[in-house]
Amino acid sequence: MSGRLNRRLFIGGGVASLATLAACRGPADTGSGGAGSGGGGGGDGAKGTISYWDFWQSQTPWVENEIKLFQQKNPGLTVDRTQQQTGAYTNLLTLGAKSGNLPDVRLLGNDPTINVQVSNGWLAPLNDYLTDDFVKGLPPYTFVEGNNMFDGKIYSMPISGNTDPGLFLFVNNKVFKDAGVVDDQGNAKVPKTWDEVTDAAAKITAAGKGKVHGLGFGNSAFDLLSWWVSVFCQADSVTHGLAMDMRTGKYTMGSDQVLADFCNLMRQWKQKGYIFPSAMSIDDETARVQFARGAFGMTVGGAWNIPGWKTDGFTDYTMTTRLSQAGSPKYFYYSAPGGTTLVLNSKASNKKNGAEWLTWLNGPEAGKRWSLEYNNAISIYPEANDPAGAKDPNFKNYLEVIQGQTLPGPSAGVRNPDTANVQPAPVTPAAGDVLAGIYTGQLKDIGKAFSELEKRSNLTQTKAIAAAKKKGAKVSQDDYVFSDWDPTKPYKYDIPEYPTL
């Protein structure tokens, strides 16, 4: 899940919008996904073992297939994969760096950030292992100074594209039909507005008689309530409720009426018994299983659910997103250029071999398999995201739903790469704590709770800018202000489309 969400930002250091296809070749295909394209050359008789870490779960079938194809193409090379736990990854990186035991290739992770890992000397630049053809085969603005490039050196690139909104409302079709929430053709009537969600939840809960509820989630392991805010607020709030307003460079939760309205609505859902009673005590993995079993009719999650549910034999669902209050969405999901996924260890036993594996996974053929064959998310390669090429009906639904949902948005990091040195400390209590308090009823005054969160968030940002300046970074609050930005139109970037190797 989290391997791709780090490239979805609200674009200037705020809360993530919460962070990933023409017909693909079959599993027997051994065409290079990156070997020849990246400029390595593992097919030249290279030998050795490449150590590799990730924390992917639902993407595991894709990873295992890529290892098989890569080793068939490069019989002298062996990929030794270790699947780590997401929650332990930061500590593993720190310990691995201290002991000199980081793998040759790995997922970057979210902490430490890439600029810190570069300054710590953990990462090797990829320039020597990439060709112009490989770089220009990726979309414009894939490589951005201060994002995945530093001092002209490339350290990572995305596997998933940035036109995926990231989060969706999933509808269990059978639960909807059993409760009579259907359209004229007898299909599940997928809601488009808050009122339609409420109406569906009421009917499902009534029909379920205590055994089935309208809505459900699992918030015990991490802040999942923010996902609901994103899905329900992004159509009517330019900040999606919790992120920085890039027109002013400030957080505005305290005055965001859309956010307050949604929290009031969710509180009403709970009070009326529409929400699965154990939502705050189970985790997301458990909630996904419960949704598939029909314990509730609607849940929020990402495209990573698709392959997992397919493996478990659950396919009877529909996806939607950008639910609005009145049915006329005003705003979009906003993406920024750049992105990170995999990195190469600066102390890799054989950097060339490691780069061969990294560019294989980032190559166009692996990208097609990532999307159309294994249905992980959209590929960074736009040509691999055509709904007509999708064989799986759920993934086709996903590819259709994401069309027209995302616009390029402003980015402080693109404007001033030095803002990579602005590292706000975690806000405490965080947004997830506030949302949990509102949901459980511990926080009665929604406006006051969000006004205080707004103050904490802005203060933390101000302190982070001051700390970066003290260390020599040329940054200011002005880097985060885009007063001329029109959120209804694509933002134009004033940077090169491609780097010079």
Residues 297 and 341 in one domain: no
Best CA proximity match to 356, nearest among 4, 35, 5: 35
DSSP SS3 for 398 = helix
Domain of residue 86: give its range.
2-162+337-412
CATH number of residue 326's parent domain: 3.40.190.10
The structural domain count of the chain equals 2
Residues 153 and 12 in one domain: yes
Residue 500 lies in a domain: no
Measured distance CA(89)–CA(271) in Å, rounded: 38
Measured distance CA(45)–CA(370) in Å, rounded: 27
Residues 6 or more apart whose CB falls under 8 angstroms from that of 492 comprise: 408
Q: What pLDDT was estimated at residue 253?
A: 98
Best CA proximity match to 111, nearest among 79, 87, 136: 87
Residue 434 lies in a domain: no
Q: What is the pLDDT of residues 424-463, one digit of tens each?
A: 999 999 999 999 999 999 999 999 999 999 999 999 999 9
Measured distance CA(210)–CA(54) in Å, rounded: 40
User: Does the pLDDT value for residue 2 go beyond 70?
Assistant: no
Residues across the chain: 501
Q: What pLDDT was estimated at residue 25?
A: 26
Residues 34 and 136 in one domain: yes
8 A C-beta contact, residue 103 and residue 112: no
Q: Give the predicted TM-score (pTM) of the model.
A: 0.82
Confidence band, pLDDT 50/70/90 cuts, at residue 7: very low
Best CA proximity match to 20, nearest among 387, 379, 319, 383: 379
Measured distance CA(112)–CA(90) in Å, rounded: 7
Q: What is the pLDDT of residues 42-96, one digit of tens each?
A: 456 799 999 999 999 889 999 999 999 999 999 999 999 999 998 899 999 999 9
Measured distance CA(256)–CA(431) in Å, rounded: 14
Residue 447 lies in a domain: no
Measured distance CA(62)–CA(459) in Å, rounded: 43
Query: Could you tell me whether strands 296-301 and 168-172 are parallel, antiparallel, or unpaired per DSSP bridges?
Result: antiparallel
Q: What pLDDT was estimated at residue 24?
A: 27
Estimate the crossing angle of helix 257-271 against helix 194-208, to 10 degrees. 10
